[in-house]
A and B are shown apart, each in its own frame.
Chain A
Amino acid sequence: MQILTDTHIKFMAQRKIAMFVSISLIILSLASLAIRGLQFGLDFTGGTLLELAYPKAVDLGPIRDELHKNDFPDAVVQHFGSASEVLVRVAPKEGVSNAQISTQLFELARKLDPAVENRRVEFVGPQVGEELTETGGIAMLAALVCILIYVALRFEYRFALGSVAALAHDVIIVLGLFSLFGIEFDLTVLAAILAVIGYSLNDTIVVFDRIRENFRKIRKSGAVEVIDASLNQTLSRTIITSLTTLLVLIALFIFGGELIHGFATALLAGVIVGTYSSIYVASSVLVAMGISKEDLAPVKREGGEQEEVYEEV
């Protein structure tokens, strides 16, 4: 089957519109992040979580009352996945042995209904949560910096900036989505966002590779034409790879269960935004920074790279 081949779409002519869309989305995301923030999960905030399974559907009221009158006035009780499964959350307490809270919670639930089953307990001390928030941020920055360096070495600094701009764009929008819809942000979502960085970059690099190749091959055209040609040549691949990845992610989203939902959501959003950004954002940055074929003269590249390495030594 062949569609999307031999296309001649003038992507760069649409870059103003794309830029408008991107900037609007980024502003919206940043605003939401600033105002609403992220709904951090237990991994980051600390606290205790208990997942209970009942043989049949249960009412939350009695459970809530029981917990509220027994030392846990702030306990949050909600259904999880189905009406027979219940999630109980308690914020970390000062001065109380937090490790015992989960035991107490389960005992209370058991008093109410002996048939209840303890599916999952998570207790995260406040210090662990704080550290995680810190290392999570560091991880993302570290990944971006490492990638920036790699792309700058393999291509040219403008390409590096272009790819990192696209990555930052993707990460901010995915974070914005989580903030806007109040989806819980836990450790698996963080992992997903780092995977989005990897994926989106993958896409961008493929496009950049073709741009570099075409700059050396197509002598007569200007930068915009070369970039457009490159985007069209890789369009089919970009779309197909996104499609296959989306296929498995949809499978994960539907069949992977509650625990993996956030992860699948982040990746689904990330792959869609990442596909868009590798076409519009990364390339637009190249054009905006005035890339031209002189910058990619094929002669000096290999030697130049080597020299740099030796200078560092």
Chain B
Amino acid sequence: MLNHYPLWKYILIIMIIVVSAFYALPNIYGEDPALQVAASSRNAKITDQTLAQLAQQFEKEGIHYRTAKMSETGLLFRFKNEEEQLKAKKIAESTLGDNYAVALNLAPATPQWLLDMNAQPMYLGLDLRGGVYFLMQVDMEAAIIKSVNTYVSDSRSILRKAKVRYLGSKRVGNDVVIRFKTAELRDKGYDVLRREMRELSFTEKDDGKSFILRGRLSEAKLKELKMFALKQNITTLRKRIDEKFHGLVEPIIQQQGDDRIVIQLPGIQDTAGAKDILGATATLEYRAVDEEHTVEEALSGRVPPGSKIYYTRERKEGSRVIPAVPVLLKKRVIVTGEHVTNAQAGIDPDTGGAKVNVSLDGYGGKRMGAFTKDNIGKRMAVVYLETKQETVRDKDGNIVRDENGKPVVKRHTSEEVISNAVIRGHFSNRFETTGLDSVQEANDLSLLLRAGALAAPVYIIEERTIGPSLGQDNIDKGFESVIIGFIAVLIFMAVWYRKFGMIANVALALNLVIIVAILSMLQATLTLPGIAGIVLTVGMAVDANVLIFERIREELRNGNSPQNSINAGYEKALMTIADANITTLIAAFVLFVVGTGPIKGFAVTLSIGIVTSMFTAIMVTRAIVNYLYGGKRIKELSI
């Protein structure tokens, strides 16, 4: 029968509508102005008491919060409006003092039952919610030079150990260049170095005065080196951001290309502070544990000269918190972090316990060898030092300046013991730390060892900050234009195509719902250009229906029956719609591949819109048309 859809098609369409409506639903609840509170120092804890204390204080000052909740990251208070939220922030800050961090936030007001079903509102981009975007360049040149320098010093100690006399070894560009007096010595040197430095490929050359061996890093090794520097920097930066903002922001940190890192900090306005921590440097120190004296003695005030009290890093393992304990360490440093070339977590095959394999460069290995030879059975600790820069501000948040007008910068170093182990034997540049409690501890330690090893320098090459009011403006304006454009199109279609126009309007509305649902499901970032993409889709989505309806009109003019005209209209327009949409998809795809940030957002919404509009404009309208007209005797169509 003409213009009849089988039942399964209706069921399929209804299912898609129901699922889309469900996943689009979280977006209508909006966001509550909220206040987040977290502990910012080791002495502070968030407890029920903190919550009660704040609740009481808010009540006293006449501020009503909607809900208060305690979670892993801290406390979350929701408020009716921004005014109350701002007042509450001041109160919370003065009530709790310096040991707590208080941050403004917008918390999605999605009901819990939706969240339980994994239905979340769309993820808003920085241009819509406010925040900071940084693009950081990793100085690969510096990373490579540092690594080649290590090879230079390694080559010296290898040759010395093998008793091969050489004139000199130095770095030329990215190569290690070693000079020998005779060809025989060079051959000998080549034999040794080839075995010890497998990553280098050697070539020989003479310059008349001496015999030269030139070692070059393989492409694979160079690539590995860059990857390593990049990953290490990402790790370090993530850690710093978590520490700086006490887990109050959800940073997005991603690799971009071979040597760049993108950092997005939603909701953060303090760009100066963010820049400070991103520029900080960290390092490690291996130190001997002072076993002649006890920690208790030192803690009571009698710190032996030549030693110092350190604290271990507080660690979280699942829900269990392993607290910081004091350790007494010798002041003399055995090896510093810049000599750590790699650290990998692994499993000890003998005991099945977790371990970390550490590699040091030649110099570090030598020092370590000399130390461990005489200290087997004693303990050695790793101290993690981080120097942070902070721009000094007065009470009102203004930057304090010196007499030259330069902002005053305060540096402070945090020192934490991240490992404390018994030396089991004499080792030098390759050793392992065993007896760790868990694989997670091993992973954490190896990460810190790598993070502490001097990262390649990074610098900011792009920054975009959007203030919260502008973000809200952008949302308001964006949605306003979607709604107005949408209504204009609805009216136009209803006037132009009457009943069929109304059917197209149903499809168009449904299209919007599906786009929102897909964006929510994918948790793709919605940006201002993304909203523009949705607006554009609304305009273009009706195109498919215009094509179909114009065809139907044409068929009717040619004297065909209404039923035949409907059928022919849909059939004939189908190919045209597909062709036209595929070409637009090509353009959107190119845009997605080449574009960055917001532009990608535009490409995503445009592509999604094209695909969903094909479904709604062809399948959904046909289903309605078939339901209304299919199998009936009709003399005239309202088109």
- List the interface of chain A (C-beta within 8 A of B): 1-2, 5-6, 51, 53, 97-100, 102-103, 107, 110, 117-125, 127-128, 135-136, 138-139, 142-143, 146-147, 150-151, 154, 187-188, 190-191, 194-195, 197-199, 201-203, 205-206, 209-210, 233-234, 236-237, 240-241, 243-252, 254-257, 259-260, 263-264, 267
Contacts and interface: CB of A to CB of B under 8 A. Distances in A.
Contact of A251 (B466, B481, B586): B481
B-side interface mostly: helix
B546 A1 contact: no
A123 B132 CA distance: 11
Contacts of B460: 98-99, 123, 125
B583 A198 contact: yes
A209 B579 contact: yes
Interface in B559-587: 575-576, 579-587
B547 interface: yes
B535 A251 contact: yes
B167 interface: no
B469 A53 contact: yes
Given A244-B542, A245-B539, A248-B485, A201 B591 contact: no
B586 A146 contact: yes
A122 B582 contact: no
16 contacts: A107-B407, A118-B465, A125-B135, A125-B462, A146-B586, A147-B583, A195-B536, A197-B587, A198-B583, A206-B576, A237-B546, A243-B492, A252-B485, A256-B477, A256-B478, A260-B529
Going nearest first, the 4 A-B pairs with the smallest beta carbon separation are A248-B485, A125-B461, A198-B587, A251-B485
A94 B489 CA distance: 51
A210 B576 CA distance: 8
Contacts of B473: 257
A143 B593 CA distance: 11
Contact of A241 (B464, B528, B546, B591): B546
Contacts, number: 232
Given A122-B463, A244-B492, A256-B478, A150 B586 contact: yes
Nearest to B591: A194
B173 interface: no
B586 A188 contact: no
Contacts of B581: 202
Interface centre among B474, B489, B554, B591 (most CB of A within 10 A): B591
A247 B539 contact: yes
A298 to B, nearest CB: 13
Contacts of A210: 576
A245 B536 contact: yes
Contacts of B576: 205-206, 209-210
Contact of A128 (B135, B543, B550, B588): B135
B526 interface: no
A188 B461 contact: no
B198 interface: no
A247 B488 contact: yes
B79 to A, nearest CB: 21
A257 B398 contact: no
A237 B550 contact: yes
B156 to A, nearest CB: 36
Interface centre among A188, A197, A241, A246 (most CB of B within 10 A): A241
Interface stretch (B223-231, B269-277, B412-420): B269-277
B405 to A, nearest CB: 8
B590 A244 contact: no
Interface stretch (B62-70, B423-431, B598-606): B598-606
A135 B554 CA distance: 45
Nearest to A125: B461
B319 to A, nearest CB: 39
B13 interface: no
A202 B540 contact: yes
A150 B269 contact: no
